[in-house]
């Protein structure tokens, strides 16, 4: 839960959530489900906007934290491909930072279509790890380390396929927006950098000496105000 909290409270995260709300375009009183709601930041904000929000997450600990953050919302522990909701009961559907975790996204999108009313709005998205940009003194080594980060998820490049998936699943008026977060503070990314280097070593992409040297270089870049990362998040909106 600490990781989820840090992600949602990082500079730029609130702006990204706001962009997803604009794409939903829901009015006060509308029903909306936030799938993979995590610690409930979006659920709380959408509730404050006057929506009737249901938060769904497969992690009971996440739901417990989310309930404390948004006591006026409804919550369920459930998986994205089996929602405890009536068919056509939602005006809006939102799912962020989910699809890189799924081996097969189709059952989740099919379930989204089921719970949305005709004319309802869907907004899905997440990071595409293949587009992540990180500056480094040895750029070839940096690119290999980022491949290690990709190896930690089931579908690290799933976000780029969401537009086609929505069209194939019967959605229309599909719109794609790319939101890019620029990070120049090494401390914000230090845990992810360590995870990426460890994964690259585990996958035998680099040696431990390579990893230690690379992490030291990134740390030096941070101390000299030379750190730079750009993280694009792909948002795809459509109408059921």
So what's the pLDDT on residue 12?
A: 78
Residue 231 sits in which domain range? Answer: 2-239
Beta bridge partners of 178: 234
Which pLDDT score, from 0 to 100, does residue 42 have?
97
What's the sign of the alpha-carbon dihedral 6, 10, 12, 15? positive
For tokens 């089921």, what's the residue?
114
Q: Which contiguous run of DSSP H or E holds residue 200?
A: helix 186-202
Q: What is the pLDDT of residue 155?
A: 96
Judge whether residue 3 has pLDDT over 90.
Answer: no
CATH code assigned at 149? 3.40.50.150
1 touches 65 (CB < 8 A): yes
Task: Let me know: does 55 contact 84? Beta carbons within 8 Å.
Answer: no
> Taking the mean position of all CA atoms in its chain, how far away is CA 141?
26
The residue ranges of DSSP E strands in the chain, in sequence order, are 31-35, 52-57, 74-77, 90-96, 116-127, 133-134, 172-183, 229-239
CB 122 within 8 A of CB 93: yes
Taking 60 as the threshold, does the pLDDT of residue 1 lie above it?
no
Residue 210 has pLDDT above 70, yes or no: yes
Overall average pLDDT of the 92-112 stretch: 97
The count of domains in the chain is 1
Q: Which residue has the higher pLDDT, 188 or 208?
A: 208
Confidence band (pLDDT; 50, 70, 90) for 2?
Answer: low
Residues 53-92 have pLDDT tens digits of 999 999 999 999 999 999 999 999 999 999 999 999 999 9
Alpha carbon 138 to chain centroid, angstroms: 28
pLDDT computed for residue 13 by the predictor:
87
d(CA 33, CA 55): 6
Q: Report the pLDDT averaged over residues 103-112.
A: 98
Indicate whether 113 pLDDT > 90.
yes
pLDDT at 179: 92
What is the per-residue pLDDT for 108?
A: 98
Under the banding of pLDDT at 50, 70 and 90, the label for residue 9 is confident
Provide mean pLDDT across the span 14-33: 96
pLDDT at 140: 97
Residue 117 clears pLDDT 90, i.e. is over it: yes
pLDDT, average across residues 145-171: 96
Through-space distance between the first and last CA atoms of the chain, rounded to whole angstroms: 32
pLDDT at 100: 95
For residue 8, the model assigns a pLDDT of 76
């Amino acid at each position: 839960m600490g990781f989820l909290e840090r992600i949602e409270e990082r500079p730029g995260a609130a702006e990204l959530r706001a962009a997803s709300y604009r794409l939903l375009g829901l009015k006060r009183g509308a029903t909306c489900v936030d799938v993979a709601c995590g610690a409930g930041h979006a659920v709380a904000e959408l509730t404050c906007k006057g929506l009737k929000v249901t938060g769904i997450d497969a992690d009971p600990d996440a739901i417990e934290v989310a309930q404390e953050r948004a006591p006026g919302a409804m919550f369920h522990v459930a998986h994205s491909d089996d929602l405890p909701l009536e068919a056509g009961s939602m005006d809006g559907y939102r799912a962020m930072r989910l699809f890189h975790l799924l081996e097969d996204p189709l059952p989740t999108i099919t379930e989204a279509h089921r719970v949305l009313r005709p004319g309802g709005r869907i907004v899905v998205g997440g990071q595409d790890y293949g587009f992540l940009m990180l500056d480094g003194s040895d750029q070839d080594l940096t690119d290999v380390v980022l491949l290690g980060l990709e190896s930690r998820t089931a579908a690290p490049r799933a976000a780029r396929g969401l537009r086609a998936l929505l069209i194939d699943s019967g959605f229309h008026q599909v719109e794609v927006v790319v939101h890019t977060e620029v990070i120049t503070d090494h401390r914000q990314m230090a845990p992810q950098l360590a995870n990426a280097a460890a994964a690259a070593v585990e996958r035998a992409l680099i040696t431990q000496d390579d990893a230690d040297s690379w992490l030291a270089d990134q740390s030096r870049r941070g101390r000299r105000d030379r750190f730079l990362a750009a993280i694009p998040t792909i948002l795809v909106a459509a109408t059921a």
